[in-house]
Amino acid sequence: MKKSLRERVTGFFINMGRQNKWLRIPAIAGLAVSLWVFRLIEYFRRGTKRFACTIFILLCFMVGNSFAYPVFQEDNGFMAKADKAETVSVTEESDITLANEEKIEIDSLEILEDEDVLEGYDDAELHGMDEADKYSLSEILEENRNGEWKQEEPEEEPEKSEPEFSADDWRLVLINKQHPIPDDYSFTLGSIKTIKGTMKCDERIIDDLLSMMQKASDDGVALAICSPYRDLNYQAVLFNRKIEAYMKKGMSYMDAYTISSQAVTVPGASEHQIGLAIDIVSDDYVTLDEGFSDTDAGRWLAEHSCEYGFILRYPKGKEYITSIEFEPWHFRYVGRDAATIIMKEGITLEEFWDKYL
Ligand SMILES: [Zn+2]
């Protein structure tokens, strides 16, 4: 009768143990292992169906769970690719901020201008803002014909070797998101009479401002001043309205806040509140948008404003420093020496502080 595999293997170990007493122990071990293996095989053979079911269930479970992993989420559109990229190690706090800010794709959004959010509200709320908030030189001169302001020829200053700058100079005060207006900052609000009423800004910049407008007018460029001084309330209302408007478009509060703070300065951080910033347009181009930089007035200002102490405060390509979009209409008074350096070197006020103060 033919022996089974099991009998042959066990027989082999038994014989081995009998023939040589030194091989007895390995033979017993081999016998035990082989018996155990055969028993295991028998066990699986009997319960094939049961084990097949268990393995199948385990497999389904693993496949189902694997869709929770980022790599599958991305392929299925549950998660944007960009989010995955951001999980790469973030070492510094500043990196975190940048990554968060980049999440919003501003290009794909309609940027809301001040006018957009001002529409449809009762503007009694906007204390301190004139209804017709745009003043051309002719309107100013008309009112001041016999008035206080006469154009003075800009004095030829004696050649100075190297202008010195002081961090305490009121003209150089740095106001941005990181540097809000100091609590003890004070200045005198001056008024320029116009036909429509009075226009306010820091009284110390009025002469230079009007001289600049006069010179532009002599060069055939009709500048118009638009929204000069704004008090904190106005700035806050404008800011909140932008957030509201973005939230109506389905954005979260945080996203709306981030994008609003790029388009309008955060309340408390606007140069308009200290009367040193002026939005300037021209008689024939009144919208505050990038297109202004391509107009005669925009070009004239970019070239000559520094001669009167004004700088283009938010230049193109420096958004990463100012955190404000390019605003070819927003001019800031810093005094002639600083303005000349800033415009000549093509830097921002922030960079000027780094370098000269
Ligand atoms: Zn402005």
pLDDT, tens digit, for every residue of 228-265? Answer: 777 777 778 888 888 999 899 888 998 998 888 877 77
User: Which whole-number Å values give the CA distances from 331 to 13, 61, 253, 311, 314, in the listed order?
Assistant: 100, 64, 30, 5, 8
How far is the C-alpha of 333 from the C-alpha of 310, rounded, in Å?
A: 4
Helix H or strand E encompassing 37: helix 24-46
| pLDDT at residue 83, rounded to an integer | 43
Nearest to 215 by CA among 168, 163, 154, 158: 154
pTM of the model: 0.58
User: How far, in Å, from the CA of 11 to the mean position of ligand 1?
Assistant: 100
How far is the C-alpha of 151 from the C-alpha of 207, rounded, in Å?
A: 8
Nearest to 38 by CA among 16, 18, 13, 55: 13
pLDDT: which is higher, 281 or 158 = 281
Answer whether 266's CB lies under 8 Å from 178's CB. no
User: How far, in Å, from the CA of 234 to the mean position of ligand 1?
Assistant: 13
User: How far, in Å, from the CA of 143 to the mean position of ligand 1?
Assistant: 25
Active site residue 7: no
User: Which whole-number Å values give the CA distances from 19 to 3, 22, 29, 35, 69, in the listed order?
Assistant: 21, 9, 16, 21, 61
User: How far, in Å, from the CA of 87 to the mean position of ligand 1?
Assistant: 37
- Pair of tokens at residue 240: 């909140």
| pLDDT at residue 291, rounded to an integer | 93
User: How far, in Å, from the CA of 328 to the mean position of ligand 1?
Assistant: 9
Q: Please identify which residue in the block is written with the tokens 């910033």.
A: 277
| pLDDT at residue 284, rounded to an integer | 86
Task: Examine the pLDDT at 191 and tell me if it is beyond 90.
Answer: no
How far is the C-alpha of 44 from the C-alpha of 41, rounded, in Å?
A: 5
User: How far, in Å, from the CA of 180 to the mean position of ligand 1?
Assistant: 16
How far is the C-alpha of 356 from the C-alpha of 166, rounded, in Å?
A: 9
Answer whether 16's CB lies under 8 Å from 28's CB. no
User: How far, in Å, from the CA of 246 to the mean position of ligand 1?
Assistant: 21
User: How far, in Å, from the CA of 5 to the mean position of ligand 1?
Assistant: 94
Answer whether 327's CB lies under 8 Å from 265's CB. no
Answer whether 210's CB lies under 8 Å from 151's CB. yes
User: Which whole-number Å values give the CA distances from 274 to 133, 136, 168, 186, 192, in the listed order?
Assistant: 18, 22, 15, 8, 16
Report percent pLDDT > 90 for the chain: 33
User: How far, in Å, from the CA of 279 to the mean position of ligand 1?
Assistant: 5
User: How far, in Å, from the CA of 236 to the mean position of ligand 1?
Assistant: 14
Answer whether 217's CB lies under 8 Å from 223's CB. yes
- Pair of tokens at residue 111: 């940027």
Q: Band the pLDDT of 336: cuts 50, 70, 90.
A: very high
Q: Which residues contact 107 (CB under 8 A, 6 or more apart)?
A: none
C-alpha dihedral sign at 144, 149, 150, 152? negative
User: How far, in Å, from the CA of 330 to the mean position of ligand 1?
Assistant: 4
How far is the C-alpha of 217 from the C-alpha of 225, rounded, in Å?
A: 13
Q: Locate the domains of the chain by residue range.
A: 5-66, 107-356
Span 258-299, pLDDT tens digits: 888 877 777 778 888 899 999 998 988 888 889 999 999 999
Average pLDDT over residues 98-115: 52
Q: What is the mean pLDDT of the chain?
A: 79
Which entry of 105, 110, 327, 345 is annotated as an active-site residue?
A: 327
Domain 107-356: CATH class, spelled out = alpha beta
Span 136-154, pLDDT tens digits: 888 787 776 555 566 655 5
User: How far, in Å, from the CA of 219 to the mean position of ligand 1?
Assistant: 24
How far is the C-alpha of 187 from the C-alpha of 194, rounded, in Å?
A: 22
Other beta carbons within 10 angstroms of residue 281's beta carbon come to: 25
| pLDDT at residue 44, rounded to an integer | 83
User: How far, in Å, from the CA of 78 to the mean position of ligand 1?
Assistant: 41
